[in-house]
Amino acid sequence: MPKIDIDSSPRRVGASYPAPFDQPCLNRVRHRLGDAGGLTDFGVNLLELPPGAWSSQRHWHSAEDEFVYVLSGEVTLIDDAGEHVLRAGECAAFPKGDGNGHHLVNRSDSTVLCLEIGSRNGSDVCSYSDIDLSIGDRAKGYTHKDGTPYPRRR
């Protein structure tokens, strides 16, 4: 089994959302461990959330399951049922198609580390619960909920 060097794994800082939706996520860091290991059926990310950072805008997937496990720190999960504190050793799951918009917010004074695992399905549509944003075909980019495209980021 090939060992993955986390420090040299593909890393994404910030978010690709159109402005101003990207602002709360600018300081998040995702180490794409699944990509580093050549996985194609599901993704695995090591998520670093510094104080004040969001994991994403609140969203849900039509055709992808998601799972998050907190490795260190304390993070607030916000979903349709309200706010829930998750501490190291705790986890949450989001079945595809359930419509439960969710995200993580670091309201603590320390960086939080989470493991994110999710399926990869080319027919998935990701809907954002609180804002006029959607994405289906990743090559086409983000759209308004009526299908009108947002300008592409440079």
Domain spans of the chain, in order of start: 8-135
Q: What is the mean pLDDT of residues 75-91?
A: 98
pLDDT digits (tens, 9 = 90+) for 28-59: 999 999 999 999 999 999 999 999 999 999 99
CB contact at 8 A, 58 and 100: no
pLDDT > 70 in the chain, percent:
99
Give the three-class secondary structure for 25: helix
Res 1 pLDDT > 70: no
Quote the CA–CA distance of 138 and 125 in Å, as a whole number.
9
Q: In the predicted model, what is the mean pLDDT of the chain?
A: 95
Burial of 7 (0-12, 13-18, 19+ CB in 10 A): exposed
Q: Of the ranges 20-24, 87-91, 149-153, which one carries the lowest mean pLDDT score?
A: 149-153
Predicted model pTM: 0.94
Q: Which CATH architecture best describes the domain 8-135?
A: Sandwich (2.60)
Q: What is the mean pLDDT of residues 89-118?
A: 98
Q: What is the mean pLDDT of residues 7-35?
A: 96
pLDDT digits (tens, 9 = 90+) for 133-147: 999 988 889 999 999
DSSP per residue, 44-71:
EEEEEE-TT-BSSSSEEESS--EEEEEE
